[in-house]
Amino acid sequence: MYRNDTPFVVKGGSGYARMTMLKAIGGNTVRTWDTAGLGAILDSAAANNLAVIAGLYIPESRYFGLFYNDQKKVDEQYAALRQVIQRYRSHPALLMWCLGNEVDFPFKARYNKFYDAYNRLLNMIHTEDPDHPVTTTMVNYQFRNIINIRLKVKGIDIISFNTFGDLQKLKNNLSSFSWFWKGPFLITEWGIYSPQESVNTAWGVPIEPTSTKKAAQYREMYTRDLPVDNPRFLGALTFYWGQKEEVTPTWYSILDDSGGATAMVREMQSLWTGATQLREPPELEYMLVNGKGAADNIIMKPGTMQTAEVRMIDPLTKGLRIVWKVLDEDFDPQNMHQPKAYMVDLTPGDSLRVTFRAPSKEGPYRIYSWIYDDDGNVATANTPFYVVGI
């Protein structure tokens, strides 16, 4: 892939926050999932010499009955996306269009109107903007999706994968099925193991690693699993560049909501550039609640006093600022909303070891700790627990 007549490999973050920081650590690309605020995002990217993979939202194929069988809705979507293409096709930050995110490509005839609408959009984009390629994304490498794209979609330029724990299977899948498809690919989301791939408590919520363990996991997966030597590989975007509420406020968040950098930022710079100028954030071993880890399935009675502590690899605490919170647990893995915080008499708040009162309402919760150093770096840990009445 070439950009401005120069070979270009995507190294960036899936997201579009803190672009100056991303550029400073060696990134060159950001990604959106839809067109909301696209003009401002493109302008900010251009100011930081970053490229943009611009997402074009379309309803998933499973909505063939509610959306794709309604020609009026399909035509309105076509007209709206055509205006977007015409407006931004000449923007210097634009790298490519991504038509749909994880829309799925089924085989059955009842999805034919989805394919009609999709191919019509794809043809329109290539006609209106022949200078930028078009990709689409799927969850992991799904041979079924590859087959249907090859058979039913005319003209997609690049296939992209959103993959986490299954990244370890990607090299083998690319090789095993190259007899059918050997085109170029991008990895548009990758990083640590997802909540769906993690160990759960007895009540079914995932156990989240500390930010220190996430950074080590990230480096291991980059060096072992990312197919950077494959000649078809066009690059990869780490998920999520910014702060994101999904299952928890910290699971995918490479930064906190004020821009504090987790250890993954340092790993990204090191792996992209071969060096890093960033100070290492506080290194955490684990969190304990009443002397137990999350895998011990911690149960407590309403309103009773509890203890929580974070163990650090380097016990030096000078210059650290520590924030604790007890938040609602959400069983929905697609939850994108900030959970409710509880006043639980946390004492002392700015310490590696605290006492707190269990919430009075029965149900699942998590206790979180954010640990900041003087350089604005942050380390995170949390532990789920369940309150059960007598």
Could you tell me the CATH number of the domain that includes residue 97?
3.20.20.80
Domain boundary among 243, 273, 303: 273
Number of structural domains the chain divides into = 2
**pLDDT exceeds 80 at position 334:** no
Instruction: Give CA–CA dist 137/168, Å, rounded.
Output: 18
Same domain for 118 and 229, yes or no, is yes
Q: Sign of torsion, CA 69 151 95 138?
A: positive
Instruction: Give tens-digit pLDDT for 237-276.
Output: 999 999 999 999 999 999 999 999 999 999 999 999 998 8
pLDDT digits (tens, 9 = 90+) for 159-168: 999 999 999 9
pLDDT value at residue 335 = 57
Shared domain for 227 and 335, answered yes or no, is: no
pTM confidence score: 0.94
Q: What token pair was written down for 125?
A: 């984009």
Domain assignment of residue 113, given as a range = 2-273
Query: Distance between CA 88 and CA 128 in Å, rounded?
Result: 11
- C-alpha pair distances (Å), 89 with each of 38, 118, 119, 130, 207: 12, 19, 19, 9, 43
Sign of torsion, CA 205 211 214 218? positive
Return the pLDDT at 336: 62
242-251 tens-digit pLDDT: 999 999 999 9
- The reply to whether 99 and 195 lie within a common domain is yes
Residue 316 pLDDT exceeds 80: no
- For residues 252 and 292, membership in a common domain is answered with no
Q: Torsion over CA of 265, 267, 270 and 271, rounded to 10 degrees?
A: -110
Token pair in block for residue 258: 């004020």
CATH number of 300's domain = 2.60.40.10
Task: Tell me, yes or no, whether 195 and 82 share the same domain.
Answer: yes
Question: If pLDDT is split at 50, 70 and 90, which confidence band does 62 have?
Answer: confident
Q: Is the pLDDT of residue 32 over 70?
A: yes
Would you say residue 33 has pLDDT above 80? Answer: yes
Q: What is the DSSP letter of 268?
A: H
Cβ neighbourhood burial of 181 (10 Å; 0-12, 13-18, 19+): middle
Predicted confidence at residue 332, as pLDDT, reads 63
Mark whether 269 and 321 lie in a shared domain: no
